[in-house]
Protein backbone atom coordinates (compact mmCIF):
# COMPACT_ATOMS: atom_id res chain seq x y z
CA UNK A 1 0.00 0.00 0.00
CA UNK A 2 2.85 2.36 0.87
CA UNK A 3 4.56 1.62 -2.45
CA UNK A 4 1.31 2.24 -4.34
CA UNK A 5 0.84 5.55 -2.55
CA UNK A 6 4.39 6.67 -3.44
CA UNK A 7 3.92 5.71 -7.09
CA UNK A 8 0.60 7.55 -7.23
CA UNK A 9 2.21 10.68 -5.78
CA UNK A 10 5.04 10.53 -8.35
CA UNK A 11 2.60 10.16 -11.25
CA UNK A 12 0.47 13.02 -9.93
CA UNK A 13 3.44 15.36 -9.66
CA UNK A 14 4.56 14.47 -13.19
CA UNK A 15 1.11 15.30 -14.56
CA UNK A 16 0.89 18.65 -12.82
CA UNK A 17 4.48 19.67 -13.59
CA UNK A 18 6.76 21.91 -11.57
CA UNK A 19 6.91 25.60 -12.37
CA UNK A 20 10.32 26.95 -13.27
CA UNK A 21 12.00 28.91 -10.46
CA UNK A 22 11.72 32.67 -10.62
CA UNK A 23 14.91 34.01 -12.21
CA UNK A 24 13.68 37.59 -12.40
CA UNK A 25 14.12 38.79 -8.83
CA UNK A 26 15.64 42.26 -8.67
CA UNK A 27 15.31 42.61 -12.44
CA UNK A 28 14.38 45.95 -14.08
CA UNK A 29 10.81 46.52 -15.28
CA UNK A 30 9.82 45.08 -18.63
CA UNK A 31 7.53 46.37 -21.38
CA UNK A 32 5.95 43.44 -23.23
CA UNK A 33 4.05 44.04 -26.46
CA UNK A 34 1.48 41.27 -26.80
CA UNK A 35 0.80 41.09 -30.54
CA UNK A 36 -2.24 38.92 -31.24
CA UNK A 37 -2.96 37.70 -34.75
CA UNK A 38 -6.60 36.67 -34.42
CA UNK A 39 -6.77 34.89 -37.78
CA UNK A 40 -7.08 31.19 -37.12
CA UNK A 41 -7.68 31.57 -33.37
CA UNK A 42 -10.29 29.22 -31.98
CA UNK A 43 -12.30 30.22 -28.95
CA UNK A 44 -10.31 27.77 -26.81
CA UNK A 45 -7.03 29.20 -28.10
CA UNK A 46 -8.20 32.74 -27.40
CA UNK A 47 -9.28 31.93 -23.85
CA UNK A 48 -5.95 30.24 -23.11
CA UNK A 49 -4.03 33.14 -24.62
CA UNK A 50 -5.94 35.67 -22.50
CA UNK A 51 -5.32 33.70 -19.30
CA UNK A 52 -1.64 33.21 -20.12
CA UNK A 53 -1.04 36.91 -20.90
CA UNK A 54 -2.70 38.06 -17.67
CA UNK A 55 -0.72 35.51 -15.66
CA UNK A 56 2.46 36.71 -17.38
CA UNK A 57 1.73 40.32 -16.44
CA UNK A 58 1.20 39.24 -12.81
CA UNK A 59 4.55 37.44 -12.73
CA UNK A 60 6.76 40.09 -14.33
CA UNK A 61 9.10 42.27 -12.23
CA UNK A 62 7.46 45.20 -10.38
CA UNK A 63 6.42 48.22 -12.47
CA UNK A 64 6.43 46.14 -15.65
CA UNK A 65 3.90 46.96 -18.34
CA UNK A 66 2.03 45.18 -21.10
CA UNK A 67 0.65 46.65 -24.29
CA UNK A 68 -1.68 44.98 -26.77
CA UNK A 69 -1.68 45.15 -30.55
CA UNK A 70 -4.07 43.35 -32.84
CA UNK A 71 -3.91 42.76 -36.57
CA UNK A 72 -7.61 43.47 -37.18
CA UNK A 73 -9.81 46.50 -36.62
CA UNK A 74 -9.19 50.18 -37.18
CA UNK A 75 -6.44 50.62 -34.59
CA UNK A 76 -3.26 48.57 -34.51
CA UNK A 77 -2.45 49.51 -30.89
CA UNK A 78 -5.43 48.32 -28.87
CA UNK A 79 -3.81 49.31 -25.56
CA UNK A 80 -0.69 51.39 -24.87
CA UNK A 81 1.72 50.03 -22.23
CA UNK A 82 -0.07 49.67 -18.92
CA UNK A 83 0.58 48.03 -15.56
CA UNK A 84 -3.14 48.10 -14.72
CA UNK A 85 -4.35 44.51 -14.85
CA UNK A 86 -7.97 45.53 -15.32
CA UNK A 87 -7.08 47.63 -18.38
CA UNK A 88 -5.16 44.77 -19.93
CA UNK A 89 -8.01 42.35 -19.20
CA UNK A 90 -10.54 44.73 -20.77
CA UNK A 91 -8.41 45.11 -23.91
CA UNK A 92 -7.97 41.34 -24.20
CA UNK A 93 -11.73 40.84 -23.91
CA UNK A 94 -12.19 42.79 -27.13
CA UNK A 95 -10.31 40.17 -29.16
CA UNK A 96 -12.41 37.96 -31.41
CA UNK A 97 -11.55 34.39 -32.33
CA UNK A 98 -11.23 33.56 -36.01
CA UNK A 99 -11.36 37.15 -37.23
CA UNK A 100 -10.20 37.43 -40.81
CA UNK A 101 -9.38 40.25 -43.20
CA UNK A 102 -6.76 41.87 -40.98
CA UNK A 103 -3.21 42.96 -41.67
CA UNK A 104 -0.64 40.48 -42.90
CA UNK A 105 1.76 39.10 -40.31
CA UNK A 106 4.76 41.18 -41.47
CA UNK A 107 2.71 44.41 -41.56
CA UNK A 108 1.12 44.01 -38.14
CA UNK A 109 4.35 42.88 -36.53
CA UNK A 110 6.33 45.77 -38.03
CA UNK A 111 3.85 48.34 -36.70
CA UNK A 112 4.00 46.77 -33.25
CA UNK A 113 7.81 46.79 -33.15
CA UNK A 114 7.99 50.36 -34.44
CA UNK A 115 5.63 51.53 -31.69
CA UNK A 116 7.47 49.59 -28.98
CA UNK A 117 10.82 50.96 -30.14
CA UNK A 118 9.62 54.43 -29.22
CA UNK A 119 8.95 53.47 -25.60
CA UNK A 120 11.58 54.24 -22.99
CA UNK A 121 12.38 51.01 -21.15
CA UNK A 122 15.44 48.99 -20.16
CA UNK A 123 13.93 45.71 -21.37
CA UNK A 124 11.44 45.50 -24.24
CA UNK A 125 10.07 42.41 -25.95
CA UNK A 126 7.35 41.34 -28.34
CA UNK A 127 5.21 38.29 -27.59
CA UNK A 128 3.54 37.26 -30.83
CA UNK A 129 0.48 34.99 -30.69
CA UNK A 130 -0.02 33.63 -34.20
CA UNK A 131 -0.36 30.62 -36.47
CA UNK A 132 2.63 31.87 -38.45
CA UNK A 133 0.76 32.30 -41.72
CA UNK A 134 2.29 35.29 -43.48
CA UNK A 135 -0.52 36.41 -45.76
CA UNK A 136 -0.19 39.11 -48.41
CA UNK A 137 0.67 42.61 -47.31
CA UNK A 138 2.71 45.69 -48.09
CA UNK A 139 5.90 44.60 -46.32
CA UNK A 140 8.34 41.75 -46.72
CA UNK A 141 9.05 39.16 -44.04
CA UNK A 142 12.51 40.67 -43.48
CA UNK A 143 11.15 44.14 -42.63
CA UNK A 144 9.99 43.40 -39.06
CA UNK A 145 13.16 41.36 -38.51
CA UNK A 146 15.34 44.35 -39.41
CA UNK A 147 13.23 46.69 -37.27
CA UNK A 148 13.49 44.37 -34.28
CA UNK A 149 17.21 43.67 -34.52
CA UNK A 150 18.13 47.32 -35.13
CA UNK A 151 16.27 48.31 -31.95
CA UNK A 152 17.40 45.37 -29.80
CA UNK A 153 13.86 44.01 -29.41
CA UNK A 154 13.53 40.21 -29.23
CA UNK A 155 10.44 38.49 -30.57
CA UNK A 156 8.99 35.64 -28.53
CA UNK A 157 6.32 33.57 -30.23
CA UNK A 158 3.31 31.59 -29.06
CA UNK A 159 2.33 29.29 -31.90
CA UNK A 160 -1.08 27.70 -32.18
CA UNK A 161 -3.07 25.76 -34.75
CA UNK A 162 -1.66 24.22 -37.93
CA UNK A 163 0.25 27.23 -39.21
CA UNK A 164 3.88 27.59 -40.24
CA UNK A 165 5.91 26.99 -37.10
CA UNK A 166 9.15 27.49 -39.03
CA UNK A 167 8.27 31.14 -39.64
CA UNK A 168 7.70 31.77 -35.95
CA UNK A 169 10.84 29.93 -34.92
CA UNK A 170 12.88 31.99 -37.37
CA UNK A 171 11.41 35.22 -36.00
CA UNK A 172 12.50 34.23 -32.53
CA UNK A 173 15.90 32.86 -33.47
CA UNK A 174 17.01 35.86 -35.55
CA UNK A 175 15.92 38.43 -32.95
CA UNK A 176 17.14 36.59 -29.85
CA UNK A 177 13.76 35.41 -28.56
CA UNK A 178 12.29 31.96 -27.99
CA UNK A 179 9.39 29.97 -29.41
CA UNK A 180 6.62 28.29 -27.42
CA UNK A 181 3.44 26.37 -28.19
CA UNK A 182 0.34 28.00 -26.80
CA UNK A 183 -1.22 24.66 -25.86
CA UNK A 184 1.61 23.65 -23.51
CA UNK A 185 3.35 26.93 -22.67
CA UNK A 186 4.22 27.62 -19.03
CA UNK A 187 4.01 31.19 -17.78
CA UNK A 188 7.11 30.79 -15.62
CA UNK A 189 9.27 29.76 -18.59
CA UNK A 190 8.08 32.69 -20.71
CA UNK A 191 8.59 35.08 -17.80
CA UNK A 192 12.14 33.92 -17.20
CA UNK A 193 12.99 34.05 -20.90
CA UNK A 194 11.77 37.64 -21.23
CA UNK A 195 12.57 39.26 -17.90
CA UNK A 196 16.02 37.73 -17.40
CA UNK A 197 17.38 39.43 -20.51
CA UNK A 198 20.09 42.03 -19.84
CA UNK A 199 18.99 45.67 -20.15
CA UNK A 200 19.53 47.15 -23.58
CA UNK A 201 22.60 49.42 -23.73
CA UNK A 202 21.70 53.07 -23.52
CA UNK A 203 23.20 55.19 -26.29
CA UNK A 204 23.92 58.73 -25.21
CA UNK A 205 22.25 61.31 -27.39
CA UNK A 206 24.48 63.19 -29.84
CA UNK A 207 27.44 61.03 -28.87
CA UNK A 208 27.56 58.54 -31.70
CA UNK A 209 30.42 58.41 -34.14
CA UNK A 210 28.63 60.46 -36.78
CA UNK A 211 27.42 63.32 -34.59
CA UNK A 212 29.96 63.55 -31.79
CA UNK A 213 31.56 66.99 -31.66
CA UNK A 214 35.35 67.22 -31.70
CA UNK A 215 36.70 69.49 -29.01
CA UNK A 216 38.45 72.54 -30.40
CA UNK A 217 41.99 73.24 -29.22
CA UNK A 218 42.32 76.09 -26.73
CA UNK A 219 42.47 79.48 -28.40
CA UNK A 220 45.88 81.06 -28.58
CA UNK A 221 46.13 84.28 -26.52
CA UNK A 222 46.09 87.47 -28.59
CA UNK A 223 49.48 88.57 -27.24
CA UNK A 224 51.20 85.32 -28.22
CA UNK A 225 51.80 86.54 -31.77
CA UNK A 226 53.30 89.84 -30.56
CA UNK A 227 55.79 88.03 -28.33
CA UNK A 228 56.88 85.92 -31.27
CA UNK A 229 57.52 89.00 -33.43
CA UNK A 230 59.53 90.71 -30.70
CA UNK A 231 61.66 87.60 -30.21
CA UNK A 232 62.38 87.38 -33.92
CA UNK A 233 63.35 91.08 -34.03
CA UNK A 234 65.72 90.61 -31.08
CA UNK A 235 67.52 87.77 -32.81
CA UNK A 236 67.92 89.89 -35.96
CA UNK A 237 69.43 92.81 -34.00
CA UNK A 238 71.95 90.52 -32.26
CA UNK A 239 73.08 89.00 -35.56
CA UNK A 240 73.46 92.43 -37.14
CA UNK A 241 75.61 93.54 -34.21
CA UNK A 242 77.98 90.61 -34.69
CA UNK A 243 78.33 91.40 -38.37
CA UNK A 244 79.18 95.10 -37.72
CA UNK A 245 81.77 94.17 -35.09
CA UNK A 246 83.34 91.71 -37.44
Identify the pLDDT of residue 140.
Answer: 92
DSSP for 156-179 reads: EEEE-TTS-HHHHHHHHHHHT--E
Mean pLDDT in residue range 23-50: 88
- Is residue 114 over pLDDT 80? yes
DSSP strands (E only) in 75-164: 77-82, 123-130, 155-159
List all residues 6 or more positions away from 198 whose beta carbon is below 8 Å from its beta carbon: none
Mean pLDDT in residue range 169-178: 95
Mean pLDDT in residue range 101-119: 91
Identify the pLDDT of residue 21.
Answer: 60
The values of phi and psi at residue 80, to 5°, are -65, 165
Up-side HSE of residue 17: CA atoms within 13 Å toward CB? 9
The model's confidence at residue 234, banded by pLDDT at 50, 70 and 90, is low
Identify the pLDDT of residue 216.
Answer: 35
Up-side HSE of residue 43: CA atoms within 13 Å toward CB? 0
List all residues 6 or more positions away from 46 whose beta carbon is below 8 Å from its beta carbon: 38, 95, 96, 97
Identify the pLDDT of residue 24.
Answer: 57
Identify the pLDDT of residue 201.
Answer: 60
Identify the pLDDT of residue 101.
Answer: 67
Identify the pLDDT of residue 19.
Answer: 54
User: pTM score, two decimals?
Assistant: 0.72
- Calpha distance 64→17 (Å, rounded): 27
- Is residue 208 over pLDDT 60? no
- Is residue 186 over pLDDT 70? yes
Identify the pLDDT of residue 85.
Answer: 97
Mean pLDDT in residue range 57-84: 93
The model's confidence at residue 182, banded by pLDDT at 50, 70 and 90, is very high
- Is residue 191 over pLDDT 70? yes
- Is residue 213 over pLDDT 60? no
Amino acid sequence: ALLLTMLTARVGSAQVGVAAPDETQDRPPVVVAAAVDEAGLTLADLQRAESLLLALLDSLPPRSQMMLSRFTGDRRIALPPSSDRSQVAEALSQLRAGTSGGAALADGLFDTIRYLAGRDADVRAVLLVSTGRLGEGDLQFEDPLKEATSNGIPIFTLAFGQGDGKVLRRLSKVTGGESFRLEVAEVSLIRNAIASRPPAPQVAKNQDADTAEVASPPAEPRWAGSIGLLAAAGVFIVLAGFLLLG
